[in-house]
Structure 1
Amino acid sequence: MSYNNVLFTKNKGIALITINRPKKLNALNKETIGELHNAFFEADKDEEIKVIIVTGSGDKAFVAGADISEFAHFNVEDGTKLAAKGQKDLFDFVENLSTPVIAAINGFALGGGLELAMACHFRVANDNAKVGLPEVSLGLIPGYGGTQRLTQLVGKGRAMEMIMTATMIDAQKALNYGLVNHVTTPDELLPFCETMAEKISRNSSVAIAAAIRSINANFEDGVNGFELEIEEFGRCFGTQDFAEGTSAFLEKRKANFPGA
């Protein structure tokens, strides 16, 4: 599949999705959101791909926000549809992928950019990164899940402060807040993410998908995460990966998971 605003490569079971609008600091417009949906869908359905890394092109920005020129003239109905479609097509979609997604934050991750990073399963930032949700400075609020995911990650008080002040924070503060998992130098960012992806890919993709569903259930209204964990745990016993994993352990060898 070809894309105008996204680069897609894969190597040794790792897909690299790069948002490629450097002149716009990789800002998200409708076309790019649609292409990202398709790229993530393509990667998730490829049985050879075990982990996805998403980053921005250049050294200035992961995603500097949404493309404001696209919605500056919107009315209430248009704005509501924009948020609903964006959440469904990209942000919720990424969060619920069965393939793990690592955000490699290589610069500014603002507004929709931070919202995309937060939808990923975890985040690594270089030490030049700056993150924030500045929407209230435009008379808006985050509309792609930012009010919910930021609160889940950093707590209510810090989320309130970051959103109300529209303040950017640096990578070290994001690490202290628990918003990112690791901070690297710019040169180390992708190699570090690739090393983590390789570690993940050695494990059972079936079990990882079950873990993602179970963890996400903790944040879903009306879903008992403990009960879902029990169900997912039980299902693991019927998989080929379980048979291979336990056999390898007992035979003192490395497991070769079939992914089934």
Structure 2
Amino acid sequence: MSEENYVLFDVEEGVATITLNRPERRNALGTAVFKRLYEILDEVERNDDIRVAILTGSDCGTFCAGLDLKEAAELRETKGIDILDIIGDPSFPRLSELKKPMIAAINGYAPAGGMLMVQACDIRVGLAGAQLAITEVHRGRGSPWAVSSLWQMPSPALLELMLVGDPMPIERFHQIGYINYLEPTVEKVLERAKALARRIAVAAPLSVEAAKASIKAAEDLVTAHALKEASRLHDKAYKSEDAIEGPKAFSEKRKPQWKGR
């Protein structure tokens, strides 16, 4: 598969559908995926014919597996660089700062960076029986981006996600209002997302833009400083030997040997 097809892009009647398309890697976010996503998000923002976008994954049981840890390990081994040196800010601000509404059609498991993608979307439709997780504590990485979820869920639930690192059923997220809708099949997830998107697409564009911007502005009053501080606090973890060991152990399918440095 060519890198161009790692992320599919379709526009119909004002609705853009963005599909992560690496089923062989569980739709993981590698450097080529980020590059293509940046291009697509720029087009969504620039194109006045696009009123709203849907983000989903190819139907492989995983919405998005998060950062491609195999590629991260390979980059460290062959070039001696961290994958974040290439892709930049792990919070992926290009998605969260999009002016147009983004709907997540969560059609499977969404750990780590997959959860980040969900968090960055404005409306969320999920597959019943799916799971979400923040697994970074078991990979030697970090999740400063998760601070934004304090605006969206109770802190005990967020701390359990970040500290325990185990998957939670999507039904629990629905109960606390983090997920808007649950649907029984992958097809119904996308159907619901498209129905919501079509309603947004025919609404007054300036009103839609102002509605999203006002909520984002209120959220930023609370989280902007927190995100900067969280990134600073995670800097030690990202630069540690454990940050190398975690992706390497994942790639080699073994238990990591943490050093705490």
TM over 0.5: yes
Q: Is the CA contact 2:111–2:132 (under 8 Å) kept in the aligned structure 1? A: yes
Show the counterpart of 1:32. Answer: 33
Partner of 2:149: 150
Which residue of 66, 85, 88 maps to 2:89?
85
The 5 A counterparts of 1:1-260 are 3-72=4-73, 73=76, 78=82, 81=85, 84-87=88-91, 91-143=92-144, 145=145, 147-186=146-185, 187-221=187-221
After superposition, the Cα gap between the structure-2 partners of 1:65 and 1:184, relative to the gap in structure 1 and judged at 3 Å, is: same
TM-score (norm 1): 0.77
Q: Aligned partners of 2:131 and 2:13: how far apart in 1?
A: 30
Task: Specify the alignment match of 2:232 in structure 1.
Answer: none
Name the SS of the counterpart of 1:188 in structure 2.
helix
Which of 1 and 2 has higher RCO (CA within 8 Å, sep 6+)? 2
Shift of 1:149: 2.4
Q: CA deviation at 1:100?
A: 0.7
- What amino acid is the match of 2:154? G
CA contact (8 A) 1:125 1:184 kept: yes
For 2:29 and 2:142, the matched residues in 1 are separated by 16
Return the alpha-carbon distance in structure 2 between the equivalents of residues 204 and 158 of structure 1: 36
Amino acid at match of 2:125: V
CA distance in 1, matches of 2:137, 2:149: 15
How many residues of Structure 1 are paired with residues of Structure 2 in the alignment? 218
Give the superposition deviation at 1:138.
1.4
Amino acid at match of 2:214: S
Where structure 1 has 5 or more consecutive residues not aligned to the other structure, the ranges are 225-260
Distance 1:191 1:170 in 2: 21
Identity level (%): 28
Unaligned runs of 5+ in 2: 225-261
Change (3 A) 1:102 1:222: closer
